[in-house]
Amino acid sequence: MAPRSPARCIWTRLAYSLMGVNARFGTPENPAAPSRVPGGSSSGSASAVASGLVDIGLGSDTGGSVRLPASFCGLFGWRPTHGLVPGEGLLSLAESYDVPGFLTRDLETLSLLGEIFADGQGAEEDVRLVFPADVWRLCEDEAAAALKSALPKGDRNDSSLLPGGDLKSLLPVFRTHQGYEVWRHFGSWIEKREPEFGPGIRDRFAMAAKITPEEFDEAKTRRAAFRAHLSRVLSRGTVLVYPTSPGPAPLLTAGNDIVETFRNRALSMLAIAGHGGLPQLSVPITASQGSPLGLSLVAAPGSDRLLIETAKRFI
């Protein structure tokens, strides 16, 4: 049998992953929970920060690739307002969602990053915390209970994020909108080079290849409506508070069905900030089943410094 050409011997994910499992080079360790996945696709950055090798991790975040590793590895993870941090040199996956993001072990270091990249933003505001019940329902019961027990005491506004509390549309709109942009970037290269993808990644690119312009236009319309709703809900000083992830990181030995179910629920939660171009900060405040859990703070565009200041209430 003739050997495969070098073009066919590429194993890649192209940032189209959320668990951080790498079939080609091996999965980076989750130092906070070694039996569990580290989260991705910024898995190497999260592992390096959590293990103490570096103080600051840089990653890209399209669907949650900074926020989810932060939650899984017990780190602070900041997805800045879309467009706030310069993206020069960033290989785009889906440009209307892509942002450079940061991972740190402590809030002090993250605060310094906020002073650099969000200079000029105000943080001295009366803050109104909202704990959207429909988003919290996506979290596993045990994890939700652990997070709620770690919250500061006080009255909570538990109104739903969407009228009727139906978040089902967020995921398909995200998949369609993101997938169309992904294929626009990588489609011709994939068809030409025929790279070998790790488990699950091939299916996602195959799905992206089938999205029609009409389906993309429909997703754009629905996304615009959601963004308009968010602009009404997120008045000045309003901060949404909800779990970063449906639960602790899946075990390295978890089956594909378990991981895919978890991934879908996580994306439904993570897509909120992505759809709206919103800043999101994942704060490590507790654990479940011996694994870290992150609590997320989300606010209107340009409220990054406000989120960092608000995080001090939770640690």
Q: What's the confidence (pLDDT) of residue 13? A: 47
Residues 178-224 have pLDDT tens digits of 998 888 878 777 767 667 666 667 777 788 889 999 999 999 999 99
Distance from chain centroid for Cα 235: 23
Give how many domains the chain has, as a whole number. Answer: 1
- The whole model's pTM is what? 0.90
Is residue 58 one of the residues assigned to a domain? yes
Is residue 1 one of the residues assigned to a domain? no
**Which domain range does residue 60 map to?**
6-314
Phi, psi of 67 (to 5 degrees): -65, -45
Residues 232-288 have pLDDT tens digits of 999 999 999 999 999 999 999 998 889 989 999 999 999 999 999 999 999 999 999
Tell me whether strands 238-243 and 128-130 are parallel, antiparallel or unpaired.
Answer: parallel
Is residue 26 one of the residues assigned to a domain? yes
Q: What's the confidence (pLDDT) of residue 199? A: 62
Q: What's the confidence (pLDDT) of residue 12? A: 40
Q: Which of 136, 130, 199 is nearest to 165 (CA)?
A: 136
User: Which three-class secondary structure state does DSSP give residue 289?
Assistant: coil
Asked whether residue 5 carries a pLDDT value surpassing 50, the answer given is no
Cβ contact 224:217 at 8 Å = no
Phi, psi of 102 (to 5 degrees): -130, 150
Is residue 211 one of the residues assigned to a domain? yes
Is residue 274 one of the residues assigned to a domain? yes
Q: What's the confidence (pLDDT) of residue 98? A: 94
Is residue 227 one of the residues assigned to a domain? yes
For residue 226, give the CATH number of its domain: 3.90.1300.10
Cβ contact 49:103 at 8 Å = yes
Is residue 89 one of the residues assigned to a domain? yes
